[in-house]
Amino acid sequence: MVSGPLFCDCGIMAKLPALTLIWALAACAPYPVPAETVDAHVHLPDAGLNKDDYARYYLRATITGDTDLPFTTSHSFQIPAPRDVWVAVYARTLSIWTDGPAGIHIVERRQEFPEFVHGGCEIVNVVADAHTGETLGSWCNVDDRESADGSPLRVPNFIPDGSPLRETP
């Protein structure tokens, strides 16, 4: 007579494939990349900008359009399904916008996310896919200054081909 646990119990054996599938799916679930990964690969709207000159605030969010962003855009867009993203706002350090240190600052709640109005490229807005780190779009704020000929200054932006942030009619 055998005593102790029975390893060939049919009830346990029947559950193993289901448990294996659950563990495999959990291992393949898309985990968000850290903000540091996004920051390392961010595509800024103008080649002359250096991210190391900015205090960079990152917040994880789910968006379906421009109205879900914690900052303004120069265009409108809608995405067909909610998208998990990192949103970031960069504020040039030692400016009227901030005297805080340059570098990454992770913000846990939207209420803590800084809001800036205008400022041109003293303020840069970024949206990146939370699972790949790919920059979906970045742009400077509106600049209230006028160019030498009196026309509004160009607002640099980067919206790559295929980005869900492309303008919708």
Calculate what percentage of the chain has a pLDDT beyond 70. 81
Q: What's the structural domain count of the chain?
A: 1
- Whether residue 121 lies inside any domain: the answer is yes
User: What does the angle CA 90 – CA 144 – CA 161 come to, to the nearest 5 degrees?
Assistant: 55
- Whether residue 47 lies inside any domain: the answer is yes
- Whether residue 165 lies inside any domain: the answer is no
- Whether residue 21 lies inside any domain: the answer is no
- Whether residue 9 lies inside any domain: the answer is no
Q: Which residues of the chain have pLDDT under 50?
A: 5-8, 10, 12-13, 16, 18-27, 29
Q: 127: domain range?
A: 35-158
Alpha-carbon distance of 139 to 133, in angstroms, equals 17
- Whether residue 91 lies inside any domain: the answer is yes
DSSP-derived pairing of the beta strands 103-106 and 54-65: parallel
pTM value is: 0.78
Strand partners, 54: 92
- Whether residue 109 lies inside any domain: the answer is yes
pLDDT, tens only, 42-84:
999 999 999 999 999 999 999 999 999 998 777 788 988 999 9
- Whether residue 12 lies inside any domain: the answer is no
The overall average pLDDT reported for the chain is 82
